[in-house]
């Protein structure tokens, strides 16, 4: 395996870092205070063509692939985990169309998604439990050439800003058959309802969706009828989990950088605390976890770019990096002493953001189940 990034990838990282530092930093405080998506941030992401990264060039995308996406998410998350989360879920909405959509769906949806005029998401989770998507109660029934959908989704990223949503529903007549549908926000019977108030990732929207006798045509099915679990899980397994990994390693890097800065500046006993062994141990652990997390992330993205299934590798990476980000955020707060409890220090935000990384796209318990299945197979 070659661990060297291409010249194009190095340039992309440089551009993504500069974009995040210059265009996102000014909005972080406002997003934290309001707990809302900032329109200027969505506009900046669109202008920087961040939504276009995984979309094929023939549909107006950049076609740069999944390693480039990982790099972009890492750099954006280093400045704003909330923004990286929002961006990662746009791609989660894009993926089912790229991988399973027909030509008409690709031509209709992807160009607008690439420019950022059409925002997207994928909605699987329901109040009956996200870890078991088969327990969902959103159903569809056939009505001639149409389908009538009824139900509810919860904890959906971009719920209130998405124009196009891929949703999973089960056949009323056969609870084992699931189908994924493309929904547009102005379809009668569709509503984004409750908006969550989260402890972290506050600049990213999370909320509930309701479907009341929502009537859609056959042309809105993504993939084959009755095979929707495969479509939804393929998107969540590689793109959703890969996205969370990008968010997590960016946050790990931010924790290490803030800790290094503070440890070099804070003087105790007449010298910087960076000279204390217990502080050095924490910095070393953060660096070891960051390097390990990056390697796991890049291994999975490398396989994904080769067109291989990387769901197991992403489960390993998702478990490791989100747990490591939580550990790094706690160590960063600890290194800051009393200052680590004061909101003007970014480490307080990192700690809150780190805990939101856990459940999104599957909890650590679920990642361990996937990994155990892998080693036992
Ligand atoms: C910020 C945020 C954004 C999200 N965005 C989206 C989105 O865009 N689209 C979407 O569809 N979903 C989204 N989700 C939902 C997310 O995927 C679910 O929260 C997650 O899958 C867990 O489901 P749950 O919250 O219902 O917890 P539950 O499934 O109820 O789990 C509760 C507890 O039981 C444990 N558990 C469950 N099953 C097992 C098992 N078999 N063995 C051992 N322990 C188990 C879990 O680990 C957890 O500790 C988002 C969640 C968050 C927090």
Sole residue written with tokens 């023939």: 58
From 189, 210, 226, the end of a domain falls on: 226
Residue nearest to atom 37 of ligand 1 (CA): 131
| CATH of residue 201 | 2.40.110.10
Asked if 227 contacts 217 with a C-beta cutoff of 8 angstroms, the reply is no
- What is the DSSP pairing of strand 164-171 with strand 139-143? parallel
- Do residues 112 and 222 share a domain? no
Q: What is the number of residues in the chain?
A: 377
Q: Are 345 and 310 part of one and the same domain?
A: yes
2 found inside a domain: no
Q: Which domain holds residue 169?
A: 121-226
**Pair (211, 145) in one structural domain:** yes
The pLDDT profile of the chain, 377 residues, written as one tens digit per residue, is 677 899 999 999 999 999 999 999 999 999 999 999 999 999 999 999 999 999 999 999 999 999 999 999 999 999 999 999 999 999 999 999 999 999 999 999 999 999 999 999 999 999 998 999 999 999 999 999 999 999 999 999 999 999 999 999 999 999 999 999 999 999 999 999 999 999 999 999 999 999 999 999 999 999 999 999 999 998 898 899 999 999 999 999 999 999 999 999 999 999 999 999 999 999 999 999 999 999 999 999 999 999 999 999 999 999 999 999 999 999 999 999 999 999 999 999 999 999 999 999 999 999 999 999 999 99
Q: How far apart are CA 27 and CA 38, in angstroms?
A: 8
Looking at residue 21, what is its pLDDT?
Answer: 98
Rounded Cα distance between 239 and 253, Å, is 21
- Ligand 1 contacts CB of residue 361 (under 6 A): yes
Clarify whether residues 17 and 127 are in a common domain: no
Residue 4: per-residue pLDDT: 87
In angstroms, the CA 228 to CA 243 distance is: 21
* Pair 154, 60 in one domain: no
Q: Are residues 243 and 197 both part of a single domain? A: no
Give residue 261 CA to ligand 1 midpoint distance, Å: 35
Question: What pLDDT does residue 305 have?
Answer: 95
Helix axes 66-79, 241-265, angle to 10 degrees: 40
The rounded Å distance from CA 130 to ligand 1 centre is 4
In terms of domains, do 260 and 130 share one? no
State the Cα–Cα distance between residues 237 and 42, nearest whole angstrom: 25
CA of 133 to the centre of ligand 1 (A): 10
Q: Using alpha carbons, list the distances in angstroms from residue 36 to 28, 250, 303.
A: 11, 21, 35
Enter the DSSP assignment of 275.
G
Ligand 1: centre distance to CA 375 (Å): 23
Whether the model clears a pTM of 0.95, i.e. scores above it, the answer is yes
- Tokens read off for 141: 């029934």
C-alpha 298/C-alpha 132 separation (Å) is: 28
Assess whether 245 and 356 both reside in one domain.
Answer: yes
Residue 166 belongs to some domain of the structure: yes
Atom 38 of ligand 1, nearest CA residue:
131
Question: Is residue 206 within 6 Å of ligand 1 at its C-beta?
Answer: yes
The residue from 83, 99, 118 where one domain ends is 118
Last residue of a domain, one of 226, 254, 276: 226
Q: Are residues 241 and 360 in the same domain?
A: yes
| Contacts for 112 with CB less than 8 Å, ≥ 6 apart | 118, 163
The reply to whether 109 and 157 lie within a common domain is no
How many domains in the chain? 3
CA distance 86 to 246: 12
356 lines ligand 1 (CB under 6 A): yes
User: Are 194 and 274 found together in one domain?
Assistant: no
Residue 154 tokens, joined: 């919860």
Domain of 13, CATH number, reads 1.10.540.10
């Amino acid at each position: 395996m070659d661990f060297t990034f291409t010249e194009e990838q190095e340039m992309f990282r440089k551009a993504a870092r500069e974009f995040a530092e210059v265009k996102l930093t000014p909005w972080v405080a406002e997003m934290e205070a309001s707990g809302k998506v900032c329109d200027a941030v969505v506009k900046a992401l669109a202008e920087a063509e961040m939504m276009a990264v995984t979309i094929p060039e023939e549909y107006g995308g950049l076609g740069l692939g999944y390693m480039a996406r990982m790099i972009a998410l890492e750099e954006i998350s280093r400045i704003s985990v909330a923004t990286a989360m929002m961006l990662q879920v746009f791609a989660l909405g894009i993926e089912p169309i790229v991988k399973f959509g027909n030509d008409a769906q690709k031509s209709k949806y992807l160009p607008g998604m690439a420019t950022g005029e059409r925002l997207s998401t994928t909605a699987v989770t329901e109040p009956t439990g996200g870890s078991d998507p088969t327990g969902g109660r959103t159903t569809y029934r056939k009505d001639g050439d149409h389908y009538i959908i009824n139900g509810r989704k919860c904890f959906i990223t971009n719920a209130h800003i998405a124009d196009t949503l891929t949703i999973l529903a089960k056949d009323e007549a056969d609870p084992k058959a699931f189908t994924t549908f493309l929904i547009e926000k102005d379809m009668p019977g569709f509503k984004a309802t409750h908006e969550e108030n989260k402890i972290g990732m506050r600049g990213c929207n999370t909320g509930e969706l309701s479907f009341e006798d929502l009537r859609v045509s056959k042309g809105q099915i993504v993939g084959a009828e009755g095979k929707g679990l495969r479509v939804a899980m393929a998107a969540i397994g590689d793109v959703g989990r890969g996205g969370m990994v990008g968010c997590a390693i960016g946050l790990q890097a931010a924790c290490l950088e803030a800790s290094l800065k503070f440890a070099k500046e804070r003087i105790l006993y007449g010298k910087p605390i960076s000279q204390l062994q217990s502080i050095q141990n924490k910095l070393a652990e953060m660096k070891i976890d960051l390097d390990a997390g990056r390697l796991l992330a890049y291994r999975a993205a490398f396989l994904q770019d080769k067109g291989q299934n990387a769901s197991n590798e992403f489960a390993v990476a998702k478990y490791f990096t989100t747990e490591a980000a939580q550990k790094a955020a706690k160590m960063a707060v600890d290194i800051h002493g009393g200052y680590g409890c004061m909101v003007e220090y970014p480490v307080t935000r990192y700690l809150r953001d780190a805990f939101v990384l856990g459940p999104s796209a599957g909890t650590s318990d679920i990642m361990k189940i996937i990994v155990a299945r892998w080693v036992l197979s």
